[in-house]
Amino acid sequence: MTESAYRAAGVDIDAQDEALARIKKRVRSTFTPGVLSELGSFGGLFRPDLTGLEEPVLVASADGVGTKLMVARLAGDYSTVGRDLVNHCVNDILVQGARPLFFLDYVGAGVLDPAEMEQLIGGVATGCEANGCALLGGETAEMPGFYQPGDYELAGFIVGLVDRPRVIDGSRVRAGDLILGLPSAGLHTNGYSLARKVFFDVLGLGVGDRVPGAQTRETVGELLLAPHLSYLAAVEPWLADERLHALAHVTGGGLTDNVPRVLPKRTRAEIKVGAWEIPEVFYLLQEHGKVETEEMLRVFNMGIGMVLVIDPAAAGEMMPALAAAGSKPAPIGTVQEGGTGVVYDFPPPATGAVEADLFDD
């Protein structure tokens, strides 16, 4: 039998069909009552439930997982990055008070491997299920010459819904508000170009190695593939509570760039460094990468994945509820009148410890 000309050019349609066949059941398991179309349609059909909404507003966002995919490739494990993608996108619309409706994914590859594709899209489906979000459709592209064999690109697009009177836009934030931080599970999906350089190039480690001198028993791969958390379950009960004044998803730019996005003019956030537990991975990155504290706080989330700006009088009720929902909050600062941006309050420098770097302003 003559080889397909398209396959000879590097694109295997049969492999794409096999990959899609593998994940059909997983994708269908994410379908919610609003899904009206079947897999394979040119476009996904979705009918949202608008019951009880005065003025429904759609909220949309798109993102990727960046070079975390390169760590997944080195580890030979693509099963977690799909969840990272969904959780990241869910958090991005959650900060405006939106609940997710449906999700679309895009996977680009140099050479499409059905088993790896099953892991990638299966992870997306797992993330969608966990967040009550339908995986409505997507696109798979095999592009030899553009992507190299073993390379993957993974991007996602989310649409959610919020009632316009319930949009959280920071307009209720005022001086004196309390800033709560919800813990991250490590780097989430930001700062991986620097992290890879430190662990793989500077230290010469592999994904299966442990960092010399580290207290953790996790390997480099385990540290870097720790999942990007979703905060939907913890925060959702408070979305309609007017004592929740603002939310900020701490992604690229860290606390330094993301918290000011929800602050009114002529207000600043005063953040007390050390008010929360900073995971060891960040100390390791700073020490071995010789990264200045200011840059650490702008590149990485430093252990805080989501920020809530609240009425201080609500703390006694809100903090135990957030902890019971599995996301232990820490009061990390306050909103103050005057100035802009984030001002960090550092404790006295520690001596004789790695941690000293992060507390040295």
pLDDT digits (tens, 9 = 90+) for 91-118: 999 999 999 999 999 999 988 888 899 9
Higher pLDDT, 353 or 237: 237
Residue 278 scores a pLDDT above 60: yes
Residue 167 scores a pLDDT above 90: yes
Q: From start to end of 265-341, where are the E strands?
A: 267-272, 304-310, 330-337
User: Is 208 in a helix, a strand, or coil?
Assistant: coil
CB-CB contact of 210 with 217 (8 Å): yes
* Domain assignments of the chain as residue spans, ordered by start: 5-166, 178-359
What does the pLDDT average to over 195-217? 96
pLDDT digits (tens, 9 = 90+) for 287-334: 999 999 999 999 999 999 999 999 999 999 999 999 999 999 999 999
Kindly report the CATH number that applies to the domain delimited by 5-166.
Answer: 3.30.1330.10
Q: Could you check whether 5-166 and 178-359 share the same CATH topology?
A: no
Kindly report the CATH number that applies to the domain delimited by 178-359.
Answer: 3.90.650.10
pLDDT digits (tens, 9 = 90+) for 46-95: 999 999 999 999 999 999 999 999 999 999 999 999 999 999 999 999 99
* Cα separation, 304 vs 302, whole angstroms: 6
Of the candidates 255, 241, 229, 244, which has an alpha carbon nearest to the alpha carbon of residue 325?
Answer: 229
pTM: 0.92
Q: Which pLDDT belongs to residue 357?
A: 58
The sign one gets for the Cα dihedral 298, 302, 304, 305 is positive
pLDDT band at 354 (very low <50, low <70, confident <90, very high): very low
